[in-house]
Chains A and B, each alone.
Chain A
């Protein structure tokens, strides 16, 4: 068994057109699998469905090349997200323009529903009921059922062909540990995809991670790639990245 690959290009080379891909991502660069995203842009698979918290390029804090590059490169057909639009009206993202023109389909969800649908996908739960979204635009087309006097929506599980996750360290078994708020969607996405690819700061030997500290058990991870120092690491981020690494 060998899960360790040497390059990001090799790790994404079999992604076919039409694949469903989950990408770990939140408000900033922490916990985003930057190198896997760049490799997928080079690889060029099209008609993708992206499941992620944002549609990239939200402009909240630091400007960097997240999965917005997949929209800019016209590789995306559909996006499922909770925070799909740029926070800046004057700097709309590529996704925003493509969604408004009808080129890309958007399914917008409350963030907790997005997270729970992914968790359900990984846990073999077909669907669940939740009150969040009742009497809002989220209700459209969904079954409503009352539990304990409270109306709830039926929400179905989400699964993917691939999950791109970012973690701090992996061991050779694929066990993952995370650093700080890097964790966000990554551990649940790792459970919900047929092929999970982890981008990590460092790969260590089996036995070097304390078993009690493992967050993502290795069975959820099929491929691991270590980030080698890259002078081009996220544009405009070099300073904070150096700060982080002391």
Chain B
């Protein structure tokens, strides 16, 4: 088995997509890790659905007693820390920010993503039920939608598919797919393979991907820093 990127490495690669002053909403899972890899000196403004902008890092286990506050949490219910310049607002304003196109980048997890950039991530696999939460609004309306995912399921099945087999979160919404073996841009309803994990070939990535990949003329190895 070839070595794949860790969840942290996927997050590190996605952090390179951020820019100074970007307003960013991170989903649950690998996306949450992205905030740990923002370059020194860059200001990223985090948005959470439950009505806060510009808050600080998640409270660690050691800090819990000192800093945990049930009235300062993110959308995953984790305690976060205050930062100067932070602000609070109600849910309709929070989603005016999302639905009005004011969120620059959202990073979301995924069950399946199609070659057209359709995203499916709200149904629990195997349970027949699911939670939509704020993910659908983000997928439809954020300016840039990045998905963070392992390239295949635990059983080795492709997560990048010709057409999603589970209920959609949003059609044709994904801009960039960052996996543990490749970086793929969704462009004009095609998948453009732009970067490969160290040691991986185009053929090996294609073998784990259901739809045909178009290879970028600028194809290179993933750089994390």
Contacts and interface: CB of A to CB of B under 8 A. Distances in A.
14 contacts: A27-B73, A27-B75, A30-B71, A61-B77, A82-B131, A109-B132, A138-B132, A179-B71, A181-B48, A181-B88, A182-B71, A184-B50, A243-B64, A244-B70
A162 interface: no
Q: Could you say which of B70, B72, B77, B89 has the most chain A C-beta atoms within 10 Å of its C-beta? A: B70
Interface string A156-197: 000000000000100000000011111111111000000000
Q: Categorize the interface residue count of chain A.
A: 35 or more
Interface stretch (A69-77, A84-92, A224-232): A84-92
Contact of B129 (A62, A85, A185, A239): A85
Interface stretch (A8-16, A40-48, A129-137): A129-137
Contact of A185 (B66, B78, B90, B132): B90
A18 interface: no
A136 B167 contact: yes
Interface of B: 48-52, 64-66, 68-78, 88-92, 94-95, 98-99, 124, 126-134, 136-137, 140-141, 167-171
A113 interface: yes
Given A181-B50, A181-B52, A184-B90, A83 B132 contact: yes
A199 interface: no
Given A30-B73, A85-B130, A180-B52, A243 B68 contact: yes
A161 B78 CA distance: 32
A113 B132 CA distance: 11
Contact of A183 (B89, B95, B171): B89
Contacts, number: 156
Closest 6 CB pairs of A and B: A27-B77, A112-B95, A180-B71, A112-B137, A61-B77, A110-B136
Contacts of A185: 90-91
Contacts of B126: 89
Contacts of B136: 110-112, 132-133, 136, 138
A36 interface: no
Given A83-B131, A111-B137, A27 B71 contact: no
Contact of A83 (B68, B71, B133, B170): B133
Given A27-B73, A84-B129, A243-B68, 7 more contacts: A60-B77, A62-B77, A85-B129, A109-B132, A111-B132, A111-B137, A132-B136
A237 interface: yes
A244 B71 contact: yes
A28 B132 contact: no
Contact of A178 (B78, B88, B133, B141): B88
A31 interface: yes
A60 to B, nearest CB: 4
Given A111-B95, A111-B137, A243-B65, A180 B132 contact: no
B76 A85 contact: no
A137 B167 contact: yes
Nearest to B91: A115
A108 interface: yes
A112 B52 contact: no
